[in-house]
Structure 1
Amino acid sequence: MAAADTYRIATYATPLSRDGPGLLLRDILKAEDSQIATSQAVIAHIAPDVLVLTDFDYDLDGVALNAFADTFGDLFPHRFALRPNTGLATGLDLDRNGRLGEPRDAIGYGRFAGDGGMAILSRFALSEATDLSGLLWRDLPGATLPEGFYPPEVLEVQRLSTSGHWIVPVDLPDGPLSLMAFAATPPVFDGPEDRNGLRNRDELRLWQVVLDGGFGPAPDSFVIAGNANLDPADGDGFSDAMADFLADPRLQDPLPGLDTADWPEEGGPGNLRVSYVLPSADWRVADAGVYWPAPGAGLLGSDGLAAGPHHLVWVDISR
């Protein structure tokens, strides 16, 4: 009997956002940016079959994404990105600080439209996606919005997704896989109303609603991948929501490592687990890991931060 095919699915919160539109493409083409070079080296070293990138600047024609993917030769012939909610202007004072047009007045924090979006690179063909990014926060079943904080005109435009929630079918040789990709807001940078903490929790809850069949038939065979910006035990935010999600019997937690990001201990949250690759229960997990080599070893420099605080998370699965 032939051995089952094994697929490596990964997510990486790469530091591939820049201060303005077009600058990421400039830096990719110049090939002089050490963060980009280190990120590329890590991706090539892990060589995933399907990769969800978060914090990757979006442009309408995918020029930067194609330029980045081309640096890997024929590893990722299939590329996908949709316009994210990050930087999507509202014309309203979403953070209620009395000023308009600031990054926190966009649907998702962003200095310009497309700032720090998401992208998918794949060895395998990608079919038509289901995009849930336009869902208004108030329309999520069981949504919890900051009480009394948003005026009616904001509720009319405030989407739930900070960047996006996509369900992208991946055409694997032995059958389809539904890739459920997202990148949630950090549960900080707000006030006593806790709007970011509440939103972060509901961005995670959206996947539970999807699995409950709240937006049509639930995916049969899936992988949830991306940056939840939420640790199940430490840091800010509703950690219990992440712990409960990881315990959902419809998915499995490969436990690739306890930490996926390295922030300062003083003045910061320290090491946290915030990025995840979570296969549905029908998959067999062959291996999993977080690319976090020992200090001074590997591709991430002497302090392990040559590509920023986040580390690539990968899981090997087979049917």
Structure 2
Amino acid sequence: MRCVAFALLMISPAMTFADSPEPSVKTIRIASMNVSLYGDSAGQVAAKLGGGADAQAIKLSRIIRTIRPDVLLLCEIDHEPDATTVNRFADLYLNADRSDVTEPIDYPYRWSIPTNTGLLADVDLDDDGRTVLPTDAWGFGRYPGQYAMAVLSRFPIDRDNARTFQKYRWSILPDALRPTDPETGTSFYSDAVWQRLRLSSKNHVDVPIVIPESAGGPRTLHFLVSHPTPPVFDGPEDRNGCRNHDEIRFWREYVCTPNAEFLVDDNGISGGLGDDQWFAIAGDLNSDPLAGDSRQAGIKELLACPQVQNVAPKSEAHSVATALFGSRRVRVDYVIPSVNMPLVDCGVVWPEPSTSLGRCLDATDHRMVWIDIKPTPQ
């Protein structure tokens, strides 16, 4: 199996994207995409999506409707308790008739995931004598629900057996990287704050996707989703770099130590993922194993974990990249399959800018990443 970047795929001039068939039961496509659908205040994104005419959302939807994932993680899309933003994007853009050549795609199963971003903490995190957004949110955010995640699926989501770690405390993680001033050796966070501080800047969620018998099942795919904080916007204590590292390390502990008593979810249930389970770790992890500002040991150790397949789509000319930050191309977006999943293909959606799909890329500074697996009954 050879993974290739989407930009290298050859498409016949006579073939349009509308000719692409619905995903076959022979393979299941799993994808992650940072869509950059956030605003300056609560309700702003939902309002702009109303009516189905937002230019950014139209471009994003064209990418999704072209690649047609069966299971899709969206990063940086607003969360509301009634999932207004997610539902408007799915109904008015993804599953709407349009004049372009892409066919609508329906995701009947959706989960707008609660987030720590913009959720005001009950302690003064930055020790400035007041508790205000955005600096005193459990995860940096100017309003509740900013920078959240959502899962869209063609297959049922088993919400009853989902596990969230939104309230998991950073200090509980063994060998946690407590941010410390390198010159003074003083901890950036007081003991009182450190004992309360949450690890996840958004959420860490085990989303069980039920693959039905008609699609090659029945079996469960554990979609392990997160969006660690960017490892920048801090000082010499590197508090965001430390947090990014440990947010990534959380998944290594989760898939490698099924009996870990220190992994306690929001319902009080301890332990990691059971042996021999299918899983895919997905998200904008904000860490490139070879470049950038992160503490690269976290992502390197995750990719080297014997429980995963390190699939990195590459061209012949350069290593894979999944985001463009200014003039820098970096690999920060991932869909990492478990070693026991039968992988068929993988890719990054980065077509030439002059193509019709390439003209949609300015909707976000990230690129969709995807894998195809071949489902087999458990």
Say if 1:295 and 1:97 are closer, same or farther in 2 by CA, change over 3 A: farther
Give the Å deviation of 1:82. Answer: 2.6
Give the Å deviation of 1:54. Answer: 0.6
SS at match of 1:58: coil
Q: Which residue of 1 aligns with 2:226?
A: 182
Q: Aligned equivalents of 2:281 and 2:321: distance in 1? A: 18
Q: Aligned equivalents of 2:356 and 2:134: distance in 1? A: 36
2:115–2:202: 8 Å Cα contact kept in structure 1?
A: yes
Q: 2:169 aligns with which of 136, 143, 152?
A: 136
Say if 1:196 and 1:217 are closer, same or farther in 2 by CA, change over 3 A: closer
Q: Which residue of 2 aligns with 1:167?
A: 206
Per-residue Cα deviation, 1:3-33 (whole angstroms, up to 9, x for no partner)? 9731100000111111111111111113332
Say if 1:157 and 1:217 are closer, same or farther in 2 by CA, change over 3 A: closer
Structure whose CA Rg is larger:
2
1:42–1:299: 8 Å Cα contact kept in structure 2?
A: yes
How do residues 1-319 of structure 1 correspond to structure 2 at under 5 angstroms? Answer: 5-71=26-92, 72-73=94-95, 75-96=106-127, 100-128=131-159, 129-147=162-180, 148-173=187-212, 174=217, 175-211=219-255, 212-213=257-258, 214=260, 215=263, 216-219=271-274, 220-257=277-314, 258-265=320-327, 270-301=328-359, 305-319=361-375
> Please, which runs of 5 or more residues in structure 2 have no aligned partner?
1-23, 96-104, 181-186, 264-270, 315-319
Q: Aligned equivalents of 2:231 and 2:325: distance in 1? A: 15
Say if 1:244 and 1:30 are closer, same or farther in 2 by CA, change over 3 A: same
Q: Aligned equivalents of 1:133 and 1:92: distance in 2? A: 17
**88-97 vs 147-156, greater mean Cα deviation:** 88-97
Q: Aligned equivalents of 2:273 and 2:130: distance in 1? A: 41
Normalized per residue, which structure has more strand? 1
**248-257 vs 45-54, greater mean Cα deviation:** 248-257
Say if 1:259 and 1:95 are closer, same or farther in 2 by CA, change over 3 A: farther
Aligned-partner residue type, residue 125 of structure 1: P
1:256–1:315: 8 Å Cα contact kept in structure 2?
A: no
Per-residue Cα deviation, 1:62-109 (whole angstroms, up to 9, x for no partner)? 122111111323520000123100011025442446664131221111
Q: Aligned equivalents of 1:82 and 1:244: distance in 2? A: 27
1:38–1:300: 8 Å Cα contact kept in structure 2?
A: no
Give the Å deviation of 1:206. Answer: 0.5
Q: Aligned equivalents of 1:80 and 1:135: distance in 2? A: 20
1:84–1:117: 8 Å Cα contact kept in structure 2?
A: yes
1:221–1:280: 8 Å Cα contact kept in structure 2?
A: yes
SS at match of 2:36: strand
Q: Aligned equivalents of 2:144 and 2:291: distance in 1? A: 32
Aligned-partner residue type, residue 175 of structure 2: G
Q: Provide the TM-score with structure 1 as the length reference.
A: 0.92
Q: Which residue of 1 aligns with 2:21?
A: none
The CA RMSD measured in Å over matched residues stands at 1.8
Q: Aligned equivalents of 1:92 and 1:4: distance in 2? A: 50
Kindly, what percent of the aligned residue pairs are identical? 38
**76-85 vs 27-36, greater mean Cα deviation:** 27-36
> Please, which runs of 5 or more residues in structure 1 have no aligned partner?
none
